[in-house]
Structure 1
């Protein structure tokens, strides 16, 4: 297309198709059989293993690694899937470096943990590649459950409910399932259409009817769902993006990072995706890092992540921060956006330097500018529908099993107040809510 990284403005084709393909190849190539055996052999198979305690889905990690070590990867996969039916995706995107691997005895003693995440991928990929589904449905209960949202929480709940013998209808606002796994995760973390392959594999359990282009609040009401089903699970995620609250954020060239990532994930040809030469991403979480790194991979020359607090408060893990800087992304801490510069189109962002005192963010009086022709907002998302339920701190209030303030309605994942905004946590919340729904429908609940 004749474009180069030196071209001003937001354009496509900044680098060659070969370079783009190389940039977006698998972040962690899968282990082969020998590598898996060597990695598994490093595990001490700890009793009361700290890695299992650190896993939000409580996978029996020593057991599945022992099963790999003894050549029974299929059994290892079943051990994983019993606790986490989306174990394949979680193996790719879970921040294992701050969860199971951080507390691995090998990490504590030697600074080199057992490769738990990669071993989990090895086992789950083997079974999924064979087209096998390790579970079968229980006898039909005659009960019906609505699941709103086909993301990690909704899919986890739907699978567990179907496995227990209930009929499940899943409603999702988008034209395909997967939620965050399909639309919100960096492309280099989930290659070769894995998110959709995982959804198709999960649906092999049977008893799940997927209904797409169905958004809660737009013709689809809780009253309708309650009248049609015996229980409702909400896994709607966080649909809105917080405002920047900076002058000029409506200028051309400013967009939401989540929309950019979704567009990138759905693009058939990444060389047709426009990106700026000088990109500024405002935010400090995983979405900010994903948007920044992928901008670099598409050929942006200068990419800066600007975060209003210091490094210790940043939501993105140390691993993600190092990944970004290794790709040439600059991270600017203590930078609060004040004004988006430009006459119609973005030319830069003015920031106020901040300092944190006792948890309070205060400006120092210093300001500075970063040139940009494209700005991504990655400053968190907000709940777009509370459906009349009790909300606390911007999320649907739930108890430890996902029950909301309305009888017969449960919620989990990012939209609920239960825990961290992680794929693996959403899976755990969906699974646990499903078990409570089952107990309630079968007369066993409190």
Structure 2
């Protein structure tokens, strides 16, 4: 029996995809902020990739200075509102909270962060502005968390910034790739509009940079170029039958869901291939769309999955079942997906080995491949002198974000291979300062 009925209206969709970190009201925020111990050597700050002074902003909320709290957050992390909702706070700041040592519920740092930032966004409170114009221009490729964070910091330093985005909306995976129960499109786009109004960078939408000629034009017109291009499509498994109807990539499935909500069709029985956080999202989303049966299939054991425990618990809580130590061999069916042929596996000395003669077919009418995203190596090959590592990641200096082509800087998934929004925001700020150092030292 399905846990959720298929949503047929926007209202039903929002009910099925209710926010797992709902917005706090003033009373809840006051109560929650009063629980903070304001640790002197706060472990939550160390656990935050952007180093937000968490005790400080919680104290500000508690004393009624919500604007001050938002400023504290945004000075460290330009994606302050989004990160309050989409960050894996359970393993970062909240996971480091000293209350965990006493078996007391940790402070809800993420929700407090979103509480403060939402207030300044909605009141359109002016917190920042561009720095004194220095006459230099920087091109940013990609309006995701890395690109937008870099643009904000560069504007604060006085640069003219043009952001080139292939799609029609900003913020990359935050709008196209995060599960809808973590953050709504409206919240994401409100923060993006707020930042653009504060800093005044320009964004050119539906403007893909795809050729060597495109890059050459940027190289001639701009003093430096920032690559915030993220990753590409879902990796192909190269299995027989992978082309069958209703066999889709998780990234593409989630993008459709974020854009079209209840109009996205899901199978009655869905098999999700993979064991990472994206697999958990795709499985949970399938269940919330009304799939009667959702199975997560992973080639290793449950304890070896890459996903965070809380993400797997969330999937299980909506009826998702696990099928472990199985490797897909073929997507079976006649035109459409009718099942997956698996072979059982065993992990021996850390290596996955197949169990001969153990093949079986698990019937289903939809397969979602959560098997990682391809690197954008083809595009990167158009940049002269740019080095990528053996995994297709852009090689860049850890302290400046500068690549092996001195005019190009990079951050985010293209550089780290795929991490969190907060990592992209943190790295991009560092890269913006790296660009500033580079351009001020070269005349």
Q: For this structure pair, what is the TM-score category when the shorter chain's length is used for normalisation? A: over 0.9
Rounded to whole Å, the distance in 1 between the matches of 2:326 and 2:125 is 50
Q: How does 1:80-159 map to 2 (within 5 A)?
A: 80-159=73-152
1:332 is paired with a residue whose SS is strand
Aligned residue number for residue 412 of structure 2? 413
> Are positions 1:51 and 2:36 aligned together?
no
Structure 1-normalised TM-score? 0.93
Report if the CA contact (8 A) 1:133-1:204 is conserved. no
Rounded to whole Å, the distance in 1 between the matches of 2:48 and 2:186 is 26
Aligned residue number for residue 54 of structure 2? 61
Give the 3 Å change call, closer, same or farther, for CA 40–179 of structure 1 in structure 2.
same
Report if the CA contact (8 A) 2:2-2:290 is conserved. yes
Rounded to whole Å, the distance in 1 between the matches of 2:244 and 2:167 is 27
User: How far is 1:49 from its partner?
Assistant: 1.1
Structure 1 stretch 118-127 or stretch 368-377: which is displaced more?
368-377
Deviation track 1:143-167 (CA, whole Å, cap 9, x = no partner) reads: 0000000000000000110111100
Would you say how many aligned residue pairs link Structure 1 and Structure 2? Answer: 433
Unaligned runs of 5+ in 1: 7-12
Aligned residue number for residue 398 of structure 1? 396
Structure 2-normalised TM-score? 0.93
Which residue of 159, 171, 175 corresponds with 2:168? 175
Aligned residue number for residue 432 of structure 2? 434
Give the 3 Å change call, closer, same or farther, for CA 172–24 of structure 1 in structure 2.
same
> Are positions 1:376 and 2:374 aligned together?
no
Aligned residue number for residue 344 of structure 1? 335
Report if the CA contact (8 A) 1:138-1:164 is conserved. yes
User: How far is 1:275 from its partner?
Assistant: 1.1
User: How far is 1:111 from its partner?
Assistant: 4.4
Rounded to whole Å, the distance in 2 between the matches of 1:202 and 1:288 is 31
Rounded to whole Å, the distance in 2 between the matches of 1:203 and 1:189 is 23
Aligned residue number for residue 274 of structure 1? 265
Aligned residue number for residue 316 of structure 2? 325
> Are positions 1:367 and 2:364 aligned together?
no
Aligned residue number for residue 9 of structure 1? none
Aligned residue number for residue 334 of structure 1? 325
Rounded to whole Å, the distance in 2 between the matches of 1:64 and 1:49 is 13
Q: How does 1:32-51 map to 2 (within 5 A)?
A: 32-51=25-44
User: How far is 1:438 from its partner?
Assistant: 1.2
Rounded to whole Å, the distance in 2 between the matches of 1:222 and 1:204 is 27
Report if the CA contact (8 A) 1:101-1:116 is conserved. yes
User: How far is 1:444 from its partner?
Assistant: 8.5
Rounded to whole Å, the distance in 1 between the matches of 2:138 and 2:102 is 47
Which residue of 167, 184, 188 corresponds with 2:181? 188
Rounded to whole Å, the distance in 2 between the matches of 1:88 and 1:48 is 24
Aligned residue number for residue 344 of structure 2? 353
Deviation track 1:94-125 (CA, whole Å, cap 9, x = no partner) reads: 00001111111001222421111111111111
Report if the CA contact (8 A) 1:5-1:14 is conserved. no
1:46 is paired with a residue whose SS is coil
1:168 is paired with a residue whose SS is strand
Give the 3 Å change call, closer, same or farther, for CA 15–130 of structure 1 in structure 2.
closer
2:60 is paired with a residue whose SS is helix
Rounded to whole Å, the distance in 1 between the matches of 2:136 and 2:7 is 54
2:328 is paired with a residue whose SS is strand
Rounded to whole Å, the distance in 2 between the matches of 1:34 and 1:242 is 46
User: How far is 1:313 from its partner?
Assistant: 2.9
RMSD over aligned Cα, in angstroms? 2.0
User: How far is 1:214 from its partner?
Assistant: 2.1
Report if the CA contact (8 A) 1:390-1:405 is conserved. yes
Rounded to whole Å, the distance in 2 between the matches of 1:334 and 1:71 is 52
User: How far is 1:328 from its partner?
Assistant: 0.5
